[in-house]
Amino acid sequence: MLRHRIAALVTSLVLGGSALVLQSAPTASAADFVVSEAQFNQMFPSRNPFYSYSGLTAALAAYPGFANTGSDTVRKQEAAAFLANVSHETGGLVYVVEQDTANYPHYCDWSQSYGCPAGQAAYYGRGPLQLSWNFNYKAAGDALGIDLLDNPWQAENDASVAWKTGLWYWNTQSGPGSMTPHNAMVDGAGFGQTVRSINGSLECDGKNPAQVQSRVDAYQRFTQILGVSPGADLYC
């Protein structure tokens, strides 16, 4: 699954994905995050301690529009959508790094002028949306003001950095879709478009309905926990 999603990331970056900039929006903090720590723990009862609630809330300032745009319903739906996709990508917030180590050397694109300064096998999947490839570490690091190209291990050693990489993709990248996952939720396109932007080239349009259903099931569980309707257009 990770290998397939990374291909979408390549397409997004090479063909001109969304601008790698921090959003300008009202400030967000743990105090007004629409998911409480108790709800977060209910969503992820078997999570790896690395994926801490405090790490997530500390990362919110990087993208203050996330789960902080629109009505209370929209804010909760976006938080649920992000966490549902994260749950699917990490086995319920269990895996911090990609499990198939044989893939690790593949994520170095030597055609980039900066190469792979941390080593050819250093840019494997890490974090809640499994950031991979040297160019994605470079782009995410540049956007976040963190040197992830030279020190990608920050994304598996610092919970806040890991969460920020996931929020970077969610808020700025459209992948194989036509919009960022953030815009999909705040503009009313529906949860299905978040799936398309993350792994649509391999899952949507009937290509892998079981994977899509897994994401939808998680989203419906999480919206129930947050006491909000999941809305329409759940599938891609």
Q: What are phi and psi of 97, to 5 degrees?
A: -125, 160
* CA 106 centroid distance within chain: 21
Strand partners, 131: 126
Please identify which of the residues 37, 78, 89, 203 carries the catalytic annotation: 89
Determine the Cα–Cα distance for residues 111 and 113; give it in Å rounded to an integer: 6
Strands (E) in 14-140, as ranges, are none
Q: Is 89 a catalytic residue?
A: yes
Place of tokens 């939808």: 216
Place of tokens 């549902």: 84
| Helices (runs of H) and strands (runs of E) counted in the chain | 10, 0
DSSP state of 35: S
Q: What are phi and psi of 210, to 5 degrees?
A: -65, -40
Structure-block tokens of residue 13: 């970056």
Q: What are phi and psi of 131, to 5 degrees?
A: -55, 130
Distances (CA, A) of 228 to 26, 73, 191, 219, 233: 22, 6, 14, 11, 15
Active site residues: 89
